[in-house]
Structure 1
Amino acid sequence: MTGPDFDTVIVGAGFSGIGTAIQLDRSGMTDYLVVEAGADVGGTWYWNTYPGIAVDIPSFSYQFSFEQSTAWSRTYAPGGELAAYAAHCVDKYRLRPKIRFGTTVVGADYEETQGLWRIEMQTGADRDVVTARFLVNASGVLTVPKLPDIAGVDSFGGTTVHTARWDHDLDLRGKRVAIIGTGASAVQVIPEIAPLVDKLTVFQRTPIWCFPKFDVPLSTAARTLMRLPLGRTVQRLISQAYVELTFPLAAQYFTVNPMAKRMSDVGRAYLRKQVHDPVTRDKLTPRYAVGCKRPGFHNTYLSTFNRDNVELVTEPIDKITGTGVATDDGALHEVDVLILATGFKVMDVDNVPTFPVRGRDGRSLAQFWRENRLQAYEGVSVPGFPNFFTVFGPYGYVGSSYFALIEAQTGHIVRCLRAARQRRATRVEVRPEANDRYFAEMMRKRHRQIFWQDSCRLANSYYFDEHGDVPLRPASTLEAYWRSRRFPIDDYEFATG
């Protein structure tokens, strides 16, 4: 029997892929290949470079616990610093020689007779196939840009750009600009471009809750603390506690957390302070509870609507024409540049992962999820798909720092691979009964989440999938981390041949 080209193939060189590769190296499992579609590392921070892009949780939390940066310039690092941090991690841990850049995985098939994954890849015009014993999907969920379902979106005669694929040759000065969407990326873009353009028309379907952001340059004292072990620890603990309070504990434990129910009052007070015109303020006021969809954190987003050159349009869009955006009231908003701030295909089964996966008996992962709803054991594994693992699969993400959860999920994966090596097994597959037990637990606990409150029906949130589920784990970060180290290893079946 011919052996695989690699023991493990990791898809994606964002932080999930970087974290997986580091943990494999630390465990002595060094025979792996990382496949990355971009020309460099960073994932989200490589592809997303729009004006104003920055992390929306404190920098002290947005990093690996074992590799804490001393280079952050602000409490919330700008996107360029996150890209630099990714490059730093890759170079320090000597991962770059194991990454194949500019290569897209176009499909993965499990060969049962050999117990291997056959992974088809494309580099430019060339197609290639590699085989691996294990396959790790680290392609992330903020990956595939989502275009709006609006008639004529391809017919606009001016310049169109998606925030996830920003054109840095685009000069907005003195232009009439329209932006469709008021989600997390729009909250950052709008304040940056409003002072440059002649007129900015913002098309809003659903308003976003926006809160102030303690985003300040780090003082000399804070930067000194970053260089001291105890100082780093204290900064991280405070930051982690803040992150945990503002989403996991607020959204995942909404029915038992009285603080969460007061967040709407905080948001309305901030709106009153920031927006002068009562009509505009009312349009910007969400009718759903905080947490139903991802909130924004920005200090000048709301006040930008006080500018004379900024118009907020809430009338539904009818179509896009060659010269602008037409709304249902018959108005045509003529513009020179159209910005699509319409996010990503987050809960789309055809884009999680970003390539087709076929497991035992040629079964499609997308089809499995369509028939059985999005689910994965501990957010990592799916029965019927041996030797396949996902970082941030369904019910793996709790809403806190990606890094804490990357470490949890890669810890889960490495436990499985170590057990396989100890047992000389070539096939690792989660048992159906273990997966069913975990999914039943997720369903049993989800009633306490914010998402199942009546007002969330008005949120148009990407958290909801086509089945009406929200595949976020109803747990705290500590619980997710603890269970990644303590789940019963016999929930997996280990076999040879």
Structure 2
Amino acid sequence: MQPELDVVIVGAGFGGMGAAIELKRQGLDNIAILEREDDLGGTWHVNHYPGLAVDIASVTYSYSFEPNPYWSRLFAPGAELKRYAHHVADKYDLKRHMEFGTLVEAASWDPDDQLWRVRTGDGSERTARYLVTATGFLSQPHVPEFPGIKNFTGTILHTAAWKDGFDFTGKKVAVIGTGATAVQLIPEIAARADSLTVFQRTAIWVVPKIDFAIPAVVQQLFRRIPLTQRAARLVNSSLLELLMVFGVLHFKQVKPGNRLAARLAKAHLRSQIDDPELRRELTPDYDFGCKRPTFSNTYFASFAKPNVTLETSGIARLEADAILAADGTRTEIDTLVLATGFNLWDVNFPAFDIVGRDGRNLGKFWRENRFQAYEGVTVPKFPNLLSLNSPYSYSGLSYFTTIEGQMKHIARLFGELRRRGQHTFEVTEAANDAFLDEVTDRLQSSVFYNGDCSTSRSYYFNQHGEATLLRPASTLRTLREMNSFPLRDYEFS
């Protein structure tokens, strides 16, 4: 049987678009990009809360082959990332492949016809030779079942389902969560609300944000002489690389570097908060890097305002017009903001049901046999599947490092398919096992296993206590390995 499509890509964010660009370069044009939302952009479409911006400098947080010289700031606001996504989709002719409002529920490998059968929420089925999952790492919002939350009669906002134009002026607000999203949002609310209570379970490491508007003359320089923007990207990427490689991945060998980053964050906190008890509550009790740190010049300063209170005792229950803290403190509120993050390991790996050869269910396999993926892309017994948001796939601090590494892997893999005149690939068990052993061994030097991460509640760790999200390698090493993996690691047919 001939499939209807060459490729089904699930997800129209930057990962899915990167895969589509590379596959089109490889001569595959019969592509469907299925997206559950009503527009492209992934994270940058779903999230549009006040204060949203990149937390990696814009010159790095973009495709290296498609630089944007017109970023307004070093850390561009979210709306500019959304416009950049549309620019990429237009330039590389991706929009004609996209279908919005299409929820993929399941996919299964048909061994007889050697194709994937992809079922969507409307009950229809598509067949494709290749399946690419690009559903993102942060695509399934986490909404804890707080006791009494159904009794609350005020407004509830989740950061991933924001109500545009909502006015906090005169409101009594509670924010639950102090992750990277909350760090951006809390200063915006604090500037407007009558009162703001922040419920913190885990403190976050925050370092100064060297942000500024990019002058028009610099934008024109980037446009006219692209080499200057590539140089800026190289400098910024190198600084991020030092933070990731030496501060996180090689914690055992370079502990002073990690300690220096922590001291910088503590000095930043001390410069904005005079109250020693408040500083203590805002200081993480785990090592720097156990949980993704973030950048802000206004987050700590918000807690020095008279209308802002930090609550760290936990939540006992919600009432119709209040939150009762675990220490008995009752806080009257009319607006509840959930900055409670995303569920990675329970429902996001994978984001829908995938069944491969011999009936192997991907989610069940990962949970029962360790989370694993060869080069963070492919899994044994899942022929013709490219899983872009997989264990050990995230490289560096900019997601575009991951995307472009995977594009190189796709180019090498499909180039070999074309050379052989074949259509099916599957990574071998031996290659997968060897890669898993290698990355597990490399991670033993990281802060995750040599530092104190016991209280971090970090999404880097899965439910088994393994740090299986990050690929333990430098950017240069990752890109080199993705472009030169042994072709014998795959079986072709």
| Code of the aligned partner of 1:291 | G
1:216 to 209, 212, 220: 212
CA positional deviation for 1:149: 4.2
Q: 1:8 is paired with a residue of what secondary structure?
A: strand
Matching residue of 2:236: 239
SS in 2 for 1:343: coil
- Tell me how far 1:296 sits from its aligned partner: 1.7
* Cα offsets for 1:251-289 (capped at 9, x unmatched): 111122232221111111111101122211111011111
Distance 2:129 2:141 in 1: 31
Q: Which of the numbers 134, 156, 163 marks the counterpart of 1:160? A: 156
Specify which of 273, 276, 280 is matched with residue 274 of structure 2.
Answer: 276
Q: Distance in 2 between matches of 1:412 and 1:249?
A: 26
User: Runs ≥4 in structure 1, deviation > 6 angstroms?
Assistant: none
Q: What CA distance in whole angstroms lies between the structure 1 residues aligned with 2:257 and 2:141?
A: 34
**Match of 1:27?**
26
Structure 1 residue matching 2:376: 3-state secondary structure: coil
Is 1:384 equivalent to 2:401 in the alignment?
no
Helix, strand or coil at the partner of 1:82: helix
Distance in structure 2 (CA, Å) of the matches to 1:493 and 1:246:
38
CA contact (8 A) 1:254 1:261 kept: no
Please say if 1:373 is aligned against 2:379.
Answer: no
Partner of 2:181: 185
Q: Secondary structure at the match of 1:255?
A: coil
Q: Give distance in 2, aligned partners of 1:305 and 1:158.
A: 24
Q: CA offsets per residue over residues 58-107 of structure 1, 9 Å max, x none?
A: 10001111100011000001000000000000001111011111111111
Q: Is the 8 A contact 1:248 1:398 kept in 2?
A: no
2:356 paired residue number: 359
Partners of 2:2 and 2:113 lie apart in 1 by 8
Query: % of aligned pairs identical?
Result: 46
The residue aligned with 2:92 is 93
Matches within 5 A, 1:41-440: 41-122=40-121, 126-227=122-223, 228-257=225-254, 258-348=256-346, 350-440=347-437
Gaps of 5+ in 1: none
Structure 2 SS opposite 1:345: coil
The offset of 1:354, in angstroms, is 1.4
Partner SS state of residue 452, structure 2: helix
Cα distance in 1 between the residues matched to 2:181 and 2:336:
15
Can you list the C-alpha shifts for 1:129-171, whole angstroms capped at 9, x where unaligned? 1000110011111111011242233332111111111111422
Q: Secondary structure at the match of 2:422?
A: coil
Distance 1:201 1:284 in 2: 14
Q: Are the aligned partners of 1:53 and 1:188 in contact in 2 as well (CA < 8 Å)? A: yes
- Tell me the TM-score normalized by structure 1: 0.96
Judge which range, 286-295 or 320-329, deviates more. 320-329
> 1:492 maps to which residue?
490
Q: Distance in 1 between matches of 2:383 and 2:318?
A: 46
Structure 2 counterpart of 1:37: 36
Superposition RMSD on alpha carbons, in Å? 1.3
CA contact (8 A) 2:252 2:450 kept: no
Shift of 1:32: 1.2
Contact 2:396/2:402 (8 A) holds in 1: no
Larger mean Cα displacement after TM superposition, 155-164 or 82-91: 155-164
State the AA in 1 paired with 2:115. L
Rounded to whole Å, the distance in 2 between the matches of 1:254 and 1:417 is 37
> 8 Å contact 1:392–1:409 — kept in the other structure?
no
Equivalence for 1:456: 453
Q: State the alpha-carbon separation in 1 of the partners of residues 244 and 321 from structure 2.
A: 41
* Structure 2 unmatched runs, 5+: none
Q: Say whether the 8 Å CA contact 2:132–2:385 is kept in structure 1.
A: yes
